[in-house]
Amino acid sequence: MRYASITNRLANLGSGKWALHHRARKLKSEGVDIIELTIGEPDFPPDPALLEECMRSMTSGRHRYSNGRGEPAVLNAIADRYAKRRPDVTTANVMCFPGTQTALFAVMLGLTEPGDGVLVGDPLYATYDGVIQSTGAHRVTVPLDAANGFHMRAQDLEAAITPECRVLLLNTPHNPTGAVLTAQEIAEIGAVARKHDLWIVCDEVYEQLVFDAVFASPFDNPDLADRTIVVSSISKSHAAPGFRSGWAVGPAEFTNQLLPVSETMLFGVQPFIADMTAYALTHPLDTATVMTRTYKARASALIAALEGAEGLKPLPPQAGMFTLVDVSGTGLTGEEFAWKLLEEERVAVMPGASFGEYARNFVRISLTVPDDAIAQACRHMRALAQRLCTPNH
Ligand SMILES: Cc1ncc(COP(=O)(O)O)c(C=O)c1O
């Protein structure tokens, strides 16, 4: 049978990236004791009040059809939250989606077509290639330099731009590097985006999980307001990824243009999830604060545990749920090191190459596991690195 080309464009995009994770899961299912530090899903439950609100809403009959933009209460809650950052924001700027992922997909569908270029930093979040290629657009890579903490530089963006480029896809705080762009960096990047008339789509799903840095966004910069669309969700901030509740916030003209796309795709999101999200955004819950404190402490413990380890250089994250470790000092790439670590030490970490060419010397370690698992994993990493750094090993 014949299928549309999108199925081929997206086929196998992810499979190689997750090979090590799948192998680790298989070993686990066979009874092998594996310390798994591959995926990043909050290891905290959502606040019980959110579950109660969801149940209350559902049992009160809030399970009927919604509309393409979102339920009034959650639209107001999202608009109020963003109006604190930019006072001109109203519900006309907001659209609800089932998670950041769907918001990214819909936004790209609204902005790009076959042949268009989407600029994105490398390393990049694992699903971005799929999101970009789904419309027939292609990725235009902006190299992110490890020596610069993987922060995007305006000159690297400028050098990468081709005439086909329509969109700059930013991610701050960044997965997998934990980099948080400064307001100055964003102003410089934004000036390039203005000069080349680019949309800026900014994935801010880790906004609430910043350690010591100061969060900044092109959305908050008045010079960039007319071209910036933020996508985010409660997946990380409220430890609620399975509820699939997110949004896009951008110019009113953009949301109006996108509305028929969203209506065609979704026919609205669930009212009881919308009520729970409105509750999450209007009540002072401490989930994000506790997670931020915990992940920051685990990152510090990991860095301390690898201190002085031959061949291993952790990169302190500024935010998020991961820490990258440069393993090139062992003579191996991140991919080679990660497979050896699994085979010889039974510790599963993600090869940096799963997140792009420019992370190939790194492995990514998830901080969403108990402290003692991280401590044990560090001992195994040290042991492997020491063997590798010993002549004639
Ligand atoms: C950078 C980034 N964007 C988007 C997502 C997906 O978020 P959501 O659950 O809101 O779809 C993730 C999840 O890990 C992520 O790391």
The string of pLDDT tens digits covering residues 142-166 is: 999 999 999 999 999 999 999 999 9
**Closest among 29, 378, 89, 10 to 252, alpha carbons compared:** 89
- pLDDT at position 304: 97
- Ligand 1 center to residue 19 CA distance, Å? 20
- Ligand 1 center to residue 252 CA distance, Å? 24
Q: Which residues pair with 324 in a beta bridge?
A: 315, 364
Query: Per-residue confidence at 393, pLDDT binned at 50, 70, 90?
Result: low
Token pair, residue 252, equals: 């009113």
The string of pLDDT tens digits covering residues 254-277 is: 999 999 999 999 999 999 999 999
Is 185's C-beta closer than 6 angstroms to any atom of ligand 1?
A: no
Q: What is the span of the domain harbouring residue 329?
A: 5-45+287-389
The string of pLDDT tens digits covering residues 128-146 is: 999 999 999 999 999 999 9
Q: Are residues 18 and 93 in the same domain?
A: no
Is 295's C-beta closer than 6 angstroms to any atom of ligand 1?
A: no
* 362-366 sheet: strands from edge to edge: 35-37, 347-351, 362-366, 322-326, 313-315
Q: Is the pLDDT of residue 337 over 70?
A: yes
The string of pLDDT tens digits covering residues 44-89 is: 999 999 999 999 999 999 999 999 999 999 999 999 999 999 999 9
Query: Per-residue confidence at 392, pLDDT binned at 50, 70, 90?
Result: low
Q: Are residues 30 and 169 in the same domain?
A: no
Ligand 1, from 78, 125, 144, 321: best to mutate by most atoms within 8 Å of Cβ? 125
Is 99's C-beta closer than 6 angstroms to any atom of ligand 1?
A: yes
Give me the amino acid identity at 312: L
**From the CA atom positions of the chain, what is the Rg in Å?**
21
- pLDDT at position 153: 98
Q: Are residues 268 and 351 in the same domain?
A: no
Q: Is the pLDDT of residue 248 over 70?
A: yes
Q: Are residues 336 and 291 in the same domain?
A: yes
The string of pLDDT tens digits covering residues 281-303 is: 999 999 999 999 999 999 999 99
pTM: 0.96
- Ligand 1 center to residue 210 CA distance, Å? 15
Q: Are residues 30 and 69 in the same domain?
A: no
- Mean pLDDT, the chain, rounded, equals 96
- pLDDT at position 190: 98
Q: Are residues 148 and 269 in the same domain?
A: yes
Count up the domains in the chain and report the number: 2
- pLDDT at position 12: 79
